[in-house]
Structure 1
Amino acid sequence: MIKIRNPEQILSHGDAASRKLVLEIADLTLARLDSYRRIKSIGRMEGSLLHIGTRSWDLLKKRNVYLFGAGKACNHMAMAVDEILGDYLTEGLAIVKVAEETDAFRKTKVFVGGHPLPNEEGYRASKMMIDLVQKSGPEDLFIVVISGGSSALMSCPIEGISLQDEIDATDVLLKSGAGIYEINAVRRHISAMNGGMLAKRIQDVGAELIGFGISDAVGSPATGNIGTPYAAYKSTPIGPDPTTLDDARATIINRDLGERLPRSIVDYLMNAGPEGETPKSFPHNTYFLLNTLPDSCIYAKQICDEIGIPALIVSSFLEGESRDAGTFFASMAREIQTYGNPIKPPCVLLSSGEVTTLISDNSVIRGHGGPGQEMAASFAIAAAKAPGACLLSVDTEGTDGTTKVAGGITDSSSFQSASNKGISLFRALREHSCFEALDAIGDVVFTGNTGTNLCDLNIVYVPGIDG
């Protein structure tokens, strides 16, 4: 396996044939999505000329070349740029979620930020980035690599809002049941970096910006030629922000967060004037979009075609409660096995998106977990009636929720395996302790940093009833 590090554990029990197929599809898909590989495929130096896809820059005409990065795939993105630039790189600053022993940088300092909750190290690195920008001018070039998770990792609240306020607000928002667009509407409008504010700072000093991005937004179109500058790039710290102050206010009102969010944040957002709005366009920046959320399903289907097994992309817009999604996919497996709808077995079902977990009361939490593990646990319960059916649900960047595993994998035998060990998957779901439950039966998936960040990837294998 290229990306999945614990295949022996996963294949040591349960329906080994179903698990092996699902693991193979997932592993090959993650390998194709690796951002190091994507950037190196379009970027190179020829003398002093930096070539990226269809564009070129003469770095001898630049006084300084800086590399900034943040996100859950930042390790691999920043390594690729650091390697390509070589001695032409003046200095690099990268904020990652997990630092890996295999990470190798020449001129880039790495900071381990907080995710899903911001931390002091990410805040300190963000301040260093702001200081560098303020010392820069029109002869300088900033190359910025951004992937999902940057809102938390690149945490730097505006004046009047403390880092602790932002941490507390992030915790409340993530447990509110709000969608990512709603959450970002609040976070971006209280940030000195996110929502395009880093790009605005670079623009204000007259420096040039080249951005590499991975879009994990539900609804993004699939990528085309990644070597062609992407004119419609938006959001994150370096692009225009589609969310508005009104969106942020609506999140507070619709999710009844007025008394749960820190008072400093509620007061600011409810009273901010036009000067508090985030930037909506950057016509002079150059952006390259490496991957978008639908790509994971597209690549997975290509791999299924190569293997020779029919595959159906169910949705790349999957949202909602993770445990409900797990039950839904188990129901689909039963429908396919019984009636051959909407596709005959054996087959693979593919989906991507961003499911969430509603936690309205922290006192019910008895362990750890994430949406992928909750989906796998709920699938196991319902799939006990779908012989051989197997689901893998992972967060493609390699960490699911509050854990260091990518997600979970269960099949039709997992519920009984858990019961045989005295483990109740129903209780694990109620108490949000699915990591402990799945880990005990060998059903967690461990990848480490994958080099991509396209939210959830869900792969279901449905064999015929007779195998």
Structure 2
Amino acid sequence: MKKIRNSTEILSHGEIDSRRIVLEIADRTLERLDSYRRIQGIMRLDGETLHIGTRSWDLSKKRNVYLIGAGKACNHMAMAVDHVLGDRLTYGIAIVKIHEESDRFNKTEVFVGGHPLPNDEGHRASKKIIELVDQAGPDDLFIAVISGGSSALMSCPIEGISLQDEIDTTDVLLKSGAGIYEINAVRRHISALNGGMLAKRIQAVGAELIGFGISDAVGSPATGDIAVPYAAYKSTPIGPDMTTLDDARATIINRNVADRLPRSVVDYLMHAGPEAETPKAFPDNTYFLLNTLPDSCIYAREICEDMGIPAMIVSSFLEGESRDVGTFFASIAREIQTYGNPIKPPCVLLSSGEVTTHISDNSAIKGHGGPGQEMTVGFAIAAEKTKGACLLSIDSEGTDGTAKVAGGITDSSSFKAAAAKGVSLFQALREHSCYEALSSIGSAVFTGNTGTNLCDLNILYVPAPKESE
């Protein structure tokens, strides 16, 4: 398999036939979503003319061409642009989550930022981006590649708020149960770059901006023709921000985190005036939207059809407590296999979105993990009675939570397999150590960078019951 690197281990035990089906669907979906091939498919340089989709630019009229980027899919996105431009690229800065040994750049400097919590290297890179933009002028062109995770990776808090304040703010919000829109509402309004502030800075010096984006926002419509500039592009550092100061304040109040957030952040947001609002429109910029969150389920369904397996998209709006969602999918799998509702087996159920894990007390954490891993552990506990049922849940960019794995895969035999090794899956959920539990039974899924970032991808396969059952 091209994307899932430990498939041999995963297929060495458990419900192997079911696991093989689920892994093939996941692997082929990730391959199709890879942003390197998406960008290379619409971008080429012909002499001094840059072609991107239906648009063209005469680079002989540009003094400098700069590449800037951040996000969990930034490796592949930035490499695609860097490789197309070659020597015509003046300089590039890419802030990635993991720098793979296989990454190859010509004129792009790579920094490893922090995610989900910002770090010093991402902060230094962000300051370099500001310096690069501020010295530019009307004859310069910026090409930006942005994917999910940029809010943490491109970390540059405004004056009066420290990097540590931003780190602490992110940590509190992630563990509060807040959704990504709520978290971004706070983070964007304390940032010098996020929430469209980078685009505003480029606009201020008169330079031109072309943006490539991947939208991992729950509720985004599926992409159409990616060669056509996308007029409704929003949020991230390079587009208009749909969150508001009022949204940020409501998050602090509704999630009851005022006493846990840094005082500098609370005081600023609660007293900031209209001048602190993020920009809401950039009509002169050109944006290309490579993928959106529903695409992963749509592509996966097409792959299932190619494999001859009936498939149903359950939701591309999936949110909630991860372990509970796992339990829910186990109950649906049993309903399918027992009564054929809402679809007859064998079948595949697909979903995407962004489930979360609520951690109210850090002292409860005894290991590593993430929402996808907790979902599959919750599924394993409840799926014993549905023979052959198998669930894969991964963060599509390749890392789930605090573990360097994409997520997990469990089936109806996983609970007994864990117990045989003396591993309590109930305890793993209580102590948020699902990575260790899944690794012990060869059920963690490792991909490395995938080249995309569309939040969670969940694939549930339910086989038909055997006659003896």
Partners of 1:134 and 1:184 lie apart in 2 by: 25
1:215 equivalent in structure 2: 215
CA RMSD, Structure 1 to Structure 2 (Å): 0.5
Please tell me whether residue 229 in structure 1 is matched to residue 252 in structure 2: no
C-alpha displacement at 1:385, in angstroms? 1.1
Partners of 1:81 and 1:325 lie apart in 2 by: 38
Structure 1's consecutive aligned runs of 4 or more residues displaced over 4 angstroms after TM superposition are none
What CA deviation, in whole Å up to 9, does each residue of 1:285-325 have, x standing for no partner? 00000000000000000000000000000000000100011
Kindly provide the amino acid, as one letter, of the partner of residue 150 in structure 1: S
C-alpha displacement at 1:85, in angstroms? 0.6
Q: Which runs of 5+ in 2 are unaligned?
A: none
1:400 equivalent in structure 2: 400
1:442 equivalent in structure 2: 442
Please tell me whether residue 314 in structure 1 is matched to residue 314 in structure 2: yes
TM-score with structure 2 length normalisation? 0.99
C-alpha displacement at 1:454, in angstroms? 0.2
1:139 equivalent in structure 2: 139
Q: What does 1:209-358 align with in structure 2 at a 5 Å threshold?
A: 209-358=209-358
C-alpha displacement at 1:278, in angstroms? 0.1
Kindly provide the amino acid, as one letter, of the partner of residue 114 in structure 2: G
Please tell me whether residue 48 in structure 1 is matched to residue 27 in structure 2: no
Please tell me whether residue 64 in structure 1 is matched to residue 45 in structure 2: no
What CA deviation, in whole Å up to 9, does each residue of 1:341-393 have, x standing for no partner? 00000000000000000000001000000000000000000001110000000
What CA deviation, in whole Å up to 9, does each residue of 1:133-185 have, x standing for no partner? 11011000000000000000000000000000000000000000000000000
Partners of 1:160 and 1:386 lie apart in 2 by: 56
2:87 equivalent in structure 1: 87
Please tell me whether residue 159 in structure 1 is matched to residue 151 in structure 2: no
What CA deviation, in whole Å up to 9, does each residue of 1:225-279 have, x standing for no partner? 0000000000000000000000000000000011000000000000000011000
Partners of 1:225 and 1:464 lie apart in 2 by: 38
1:14 equivalent in structure 2: 14
What CA deviation, in whole Å up to 9, does each residue of 1:383-407 have, x standing for no partner? 0111000000000000000010000
Q: Secondary structure at the match of 1:309?
A: coil
Partners of 2:258 and 2:98 lie apart in 1 by: 33
Q: Which runs of 5+ in 1 are unaligned?
A: none
Q: Secondary structure at the match of 2:320?
A: strand
Partners of 1:435 and 1:259 lie apart in 2 by: 31
C-alpha displacement at 1:131, in angstroms? 0.4
Q: Secondary structure at the match of 1:356?
A: coil
What CA deviation, in whole Å up to 9, does each residue of 1:413-438 have, x standing for no partner? 00000011111100100110000000
1:451 equivalent in structure 2: 451
Q: Secondary structure at the match of 2:383?
A: helix
Q: What does 1:94-173 align with in structure 2 at a 5 Å threshold?
A: 94-173=94-173
Kindly provide the amino acid, as one letter, of the partner of residue 12 in structure 1: S
Identity %: 80
Q: Secondary structure at the match of 1:384?
A: coil
What CA deviation, in whole Å up to 9, does each residue of 1:27-52 have, x standing for no partner? 00000000000000000011100000
1:376 equivalent in structure 2: 376
Kindly provide the amino acid, as one letter, of the partner of residue 226 in structure 1: I
Q: Secondary structure at the match of 2:240?
A: coil
Q: How many residues align?
A: 467
What CA deviation, in whole Å up to 9, does each residue of 1:68-102 have, x standing for no partner? 01000000000000001111100000000000001
